[in-house]
């Protein structure tokens, strides 16, 4: 069985791709074959090869061995709107069983799979479900990326409770990302998150200038993996 992780966030723009890339690079450094996946992406640009999403391209580039784009990101939509709205506009049905079948094909043959969600945990997928139905159907361990800014305590706790309520997924831990350099009472808020999320963060990413690379997080990927595996 490969190591399987689903990366969700307290909101959109909190650093899910950054964390996914960090994990993929750390796993590759341990000599493992890895695959980064993004089942649904909205916000893409037309290219000669079709629509391409920046985050999905990053996950594709971090995968080893090389993998085609359609395997990484089977549902890609041009407008940067909620995925279920983008899918409806495109006339493309989104169904959990189709995503489960895609995932099983895409995850086959590698040592580790890191799947990045879209937005937060309960992003609508179709009229009767959510993107979280995918990891819940598969029983994948979940890592929560908390954007460290005003409001994150409520968002983080509600997400934690929703993951626990599903029963099929194990909450593997959380990572704080310093998205707001002016975040007041940062250390006190981190203490509260530790209490509310069942333990200390797997890692804290400092605030980074826009466009910063994964290497600029200055995090020890091997230590992050050790903490994940110890949970």
Q: How far is CA 158 from CA 33, 53, 183, in A?
A: 34, 28, 20
Of 156, 199, 200, nearest to 179 (Cα)? 156
- Distance of alpha carbon 230 from the chain centroid: 20
* CA dist., res. 68 & res. 166, Å (int): 32
Of 172, 197, 201, 167, nearest to 5 (Cα)? 172
> Using CA atoms in the order 152, 153, 156, 162, what is the torsion angle rounded to 10 degrees?
-130
Q: Which of 24, 26, 35, 38 is catalytic?
A: 38
How many helices (H) and strands (E) the chain has is answered by: 9, 12
How many Cβ atoms from other residues are within 10 Å of residue 130's Cβ? 19
Indicate if 38 belongs to the active site: yes
* CA dist., res. 56 & res. 120, Å (int): 17
Residue 11 DSSP symbol: S
* CA dist., res. 74 & res. 76, Å (int): 6
Residues with a catalytic annotation lie at 38
């Amino acid at each position: 069985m490969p190591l399987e992780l689903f990366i969700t966030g307290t909101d959109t723009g909190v650093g899910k791709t950054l964390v996914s890339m960090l994990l993929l690079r750390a796993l590759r450094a341990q000599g493992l074959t890895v695959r980064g996946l993004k089942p649904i992406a909205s916000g893409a640009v037309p290219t000669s090869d079709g629509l391409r999403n920046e985050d999905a391209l990053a996950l594709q580039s971090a995968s080893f061995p090389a993998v085609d784009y359609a395997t990484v990101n089977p549902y890609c939509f041009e407008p940067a709107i909620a995925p279920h709205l983008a899918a409806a506009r495109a006339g493309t049905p989104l169904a959990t069983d189709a995503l489960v079948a895609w995932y099983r094909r895409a995850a086959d043959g590698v040592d580790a799979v890191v799947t990045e969600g879209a937005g937060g945990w309960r992003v609508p997928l179709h009229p009767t479900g959510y993107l979280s139905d995918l990891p819940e159907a598969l029983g994948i361990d979940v890592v929560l990326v908390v954007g460290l800014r005003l409001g994150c305590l409520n968002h983080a706790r509600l997400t934690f409770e929703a993951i626990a309520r599903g029963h099929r997924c194990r909450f593997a831990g959380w990572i704080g990302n310093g998205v707001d350099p002016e975040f007041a009472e940062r250390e006190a808020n981190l203490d509260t998150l530790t209490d509310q999320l069942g333990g200390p963060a797997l890692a804290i990413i400092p605030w980074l200038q826009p466009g910063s690379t994964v290497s600029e997080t200055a995090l020890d990927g091997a230590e992050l993996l050790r903490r994940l595996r110890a949970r």
